[in-house]
């Protein structure tokens, strides 16, 4: 993307928070924790948030099915139409696919997302899931918790907690979409 | 960043291929909402939409109404026979009065070509053209394109022939503009009395015989033959029209490939299309109806709130990237 203005602060180079190996270990631990918290796989369903939460949910579901020898249903949720800022954002955000082909009534549902920040995405996800049914319980698993919550929302399973100062950013890359597995952090308001 | 659509949807003639693709790509995931137990998303909560129909319409009006309700907008239907329009109020006066009651969007169907643009230039609300005279019916064109794209995967290089009364058809015009922009080859077929004299200027092929169209096409979009065309002298008789231009199974059986059959409705079975074809395995007529709701939801979503101030903000956000 073209540079259209000079950054206010000196930009720092992105710091690697998780490399590919570390990301793999972290996701494996999250899979174990999810099964533990869900008391097994019987009622468990995973729902990934578009976009990178979907790929993470796929990986976690795959790991669980290998370790527990049980298939875990997984779906995808796009929360765009439930956002609370649609009246103020400029061009309309692209709407992604929502795929929840089974009943979620009575299930232990685990939402999977890449980064937990303000909590507004999860608020929207909870509202959207309520339109699909009434799970017995909803958990939240995130690869990175970067702090900065604006709503009373917390994650049950966290891959890595990082303290990102205001203006900073966390980027999650997954090989399915980005060609590599990596989590990076940028401290100052740098444009990439 | 997406290409904003601007304030109104008046036709496909002035949209770019990118803008049309944005609408179709947005409609695609919205189809899923109509499959849910609770067929509703809160996106347009608080927005008021007026369906201003100066012409009879069942399918289009109901489709818009479903789309509006599934996006949680509040809707009001104004039908001309029971409104002040029948007392002689002008189009702009009607709309200005509605606007004074704080509405956000107007969906307009009108017998005069250009009525939607005329209105859009005079009111602040978003205007969606639901058919104006013989000019355009953009959401019908878009739902036809979505139906074809879902079946073919792409529109590029596909051959679509529009059969019938092209002269009076806003559906034909929106189809021609939209399909050619996305790289499809378009032809028309019908009696010369029902084809515009300058049809070649649209960059489409013309077939005088429906057999040639069937030989050539991947899909046929069969237009409704307005019964009053016979009394007005455009065609000699309905029976003759059916014999020469009717889409029958016998004719399709001789096609070199499977041909998708579309019809914007309402159908005159036994005139422009035979029942066997309309209900046959290659008919996507009911898919069109399903896709119509999704396309209209997409248009509402992409236009809503796109007042001048927001469009300005959108332009800035895009150029900042």
- Nearest by CB to B38, from A2, A98, A131: name it: A131
Beta carbons of B41 and A128 less than 8 Å apart: yes
Strand order in the sheet with A169-173: A15-18, A182-186, A169-173
- Judge whether B35 is closer than 8 Å to chain A, CB to CB: no
List all residues of chain B from 39 to 98 with a beta carbon under 8 Å from chain A: 40-43, 71
Contact A93, A63 (CB under 8 A): no
Contact A108, A139 (CB under 8 A): yes
Instruction: Please compute the mean of the pLDDT values over residues B64-92 and round it to a whole number.
Output: 85
CA distances from A67 to A28, A70, A139, A156, B64 (A): 10, 8, 20, 21, 49
* Rounded Cα–Cα distance for residues A150 and B130 (Å): 42
Element (H, E) at A178: helix A175-178
pLDDT band at B1 (very low <50, low <70, confident <90, very high): very low
Contact B274, B247 (CB under 8 A): yes
How many CB atoms neighbour CB A154 within 10 A? 13
ipTM above 0.90, yes or no: no
Strand order in the sheet with B105-110: B74-79, B48-53, B105-110, B126-132
Closest to B69 measured CA to CA, from B98, B34, B35: B34
Closest to A54 measured CA to CA, from A35, A72, A74: A74
Q: How far is A60 from chain B (nearest CA, A)?
A: 25
Contact B259, B220 (CB under 8 A): yes
pLDDT tens, position by position, B242-289? 999 999 999 999 999 999 999 999 999 999 999 999 999 999 999 999
Q: What is the mean pLDDT of chain B?
A: 90
Task: Output the tens digit of pLDDT for each of chain A's 192 residues.
Answer: 444 454 555 557 899 999 999 999 999 999 999 999 999 999 999 999 999 999 999 999 999 999 999 999 999 999 999 998 887 776 788 899 999 999 999 999 999 999 999 999 999 999 999 999 999 999 999 999 999 999 999 999 999 999 998 889 999 999 999 999 999 999 875 444
Beta carbons of B4 and A86 less than 8 Å apart: no
Closest to A102 measured CA to CA, from A72, A62, A80: A72
| Phi, then psi, of A124 in degrees rounded to 5 | -65, -40
pLDDT band at B315 (very low <50, low <70, confident <90, very high): very low
- Percentage of chain B exceeding pLDDT 70: 91
Q: Which of B22, B36, B308 to mutate to test the interface with A (most CBs of A within 10 A)?
A: B36
**Residue B303: closest C-alpha in chain A:** A92
Query: Tokens in use for B8?
Result: 């109104």
Q: How far is A191 from chain B (nearest CA, A)?
A: 9
pTM of the predicted structure, to 2 decimals: 0.89
Contact A114, A53 (CB under 8 A): yes
Q: How far is B3 from chain A (nearest CA, A)?
A: 7
Beta carbons of B38 and A132 less than 8 Å apart: yes
Please tell me whether residue B188 adopts helix, strand or coil conformation: strand
Q: Over the range A84-121, which residues count as b (16 or more CB within 10 Å of their CB) and which as e?
A: eebeeebbbbebbebbbeeebeebbbbbbbbbbbebbb
Q: What is the DSSP letter of B272?
A: T
Strand order in the sheet with A74-77: A74-77, A44-49, A108-116, A137-145, A157-161
The DSSP-derived string for B91-140 is HHHHHHHHHHT---EEEEEESSTTHHHHHHTT-SSEEEEEEETTTB-HHH
Please tell me whether residue B52 adopts helix, strand or coil conformation: strand
Beta carbons of A131 and B301 less than 8 Å apart: no
CA distances from B260 to B140, B172, B217, B275 (A): 17, 17, 9, 15
């Amino acid at each position: 993307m073209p540079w259209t203005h000079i950054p206010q602060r000196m930009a720092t180079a992105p710091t690697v928070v998780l490399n590919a190996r570390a990301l793999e270990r972290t996701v494996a631990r999250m899979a174990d924790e999810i099964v533990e918290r869900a008391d097994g796989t019987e009622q468990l369903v995973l729902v990934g948030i578009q976009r990178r939460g979907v790929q993470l949910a796929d990986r976690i579901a795959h790991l669980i099915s290998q370790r527990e020898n049980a298939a875990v249903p997984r779906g995808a949720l796009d929360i765009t139409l439930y956002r609370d800022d649609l009246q103020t954002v400029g061009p309309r955000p692209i709407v992604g696919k929502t795929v929840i082909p089974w009943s979620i009534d009575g299930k232990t549902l685990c939402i999977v997302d890449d980064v937990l920040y303000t909590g507004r995405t999860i608020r929207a996800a909870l509202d959207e899931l309520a339109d699909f049914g009434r799970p017995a319980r909803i958990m939240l698993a995130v690869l990175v918790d970067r702090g900065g919550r604006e709503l009373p929302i917390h994650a049950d399973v966290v891959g890595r907690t990082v303290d990102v100062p205001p203006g900073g950013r966390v980027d999650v890359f997954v090989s399915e979409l980005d060609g590599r597995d990596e989590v990076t952090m940028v401290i100052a308001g740098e444009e990439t | 960043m997406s290409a904003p659509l601007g304030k109104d949807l008046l036709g496909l003639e002035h949209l770019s291929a990118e803008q049309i693709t944005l609408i179709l790509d947005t409609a695609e995931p919205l189809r899923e909402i109509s499959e849910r137990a609770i067929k509703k998303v809160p996106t347009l909560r608080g927005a008021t939409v007026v369906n201003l129909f100066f012409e009879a319409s069942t399918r289009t009006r109901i489709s818009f109404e479903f789309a509006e309700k599934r996006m949680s907008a509040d809707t009001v239907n104004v039908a001309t026979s029971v409104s002040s329009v029948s007392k002689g109020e002008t189009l702009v006066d009607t709309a200005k009065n509605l606007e004074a009651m704080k509405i956000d969007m107007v969906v307009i169907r009108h017998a005069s070509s250009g009525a939607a643009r005329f209105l859009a230039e005079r009111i602040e609300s978003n205007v969606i053209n639901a058919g104006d005279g013989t000019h355009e019916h953009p959401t019908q064109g878009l739902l036809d394109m979505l139906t074809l794209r879902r079946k073919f995967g792409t529109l590029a290089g596909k051959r679509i022939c529009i059969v019938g009364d092209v002269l009076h058809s806003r559906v034909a015009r929106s189809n021609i503009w939209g399909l050619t922009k996305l790289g499809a080859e378009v032809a028309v077929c019908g009696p010369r009395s029902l084809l515009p004299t300058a049809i070649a200027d649209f960059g489409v092929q013309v077939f005088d015989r429906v057999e040639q169209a069937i030989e050539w096409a991947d899909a046929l979009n069969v237009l409704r033959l307005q019964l009053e065309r016979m009394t007005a002298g455009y065609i000699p008789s309905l029976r003759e029209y059916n014999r020469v231009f009717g889409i029958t199974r016998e004719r399709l059986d001789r096609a070199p490939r499977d041909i998708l059959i579309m019809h914007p409705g309402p159908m005159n079975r036994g005139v422009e299309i035979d029942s066997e074809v309309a209900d046959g395995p290659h008919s996507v007529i009911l898919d069109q109806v399903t896709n119509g709701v999704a396309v209209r939801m997409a248009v509402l979503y992409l236009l809503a709130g796109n007042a001048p101030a927001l469009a300005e903000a959108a332009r800035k956000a895009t150029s900042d990237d």
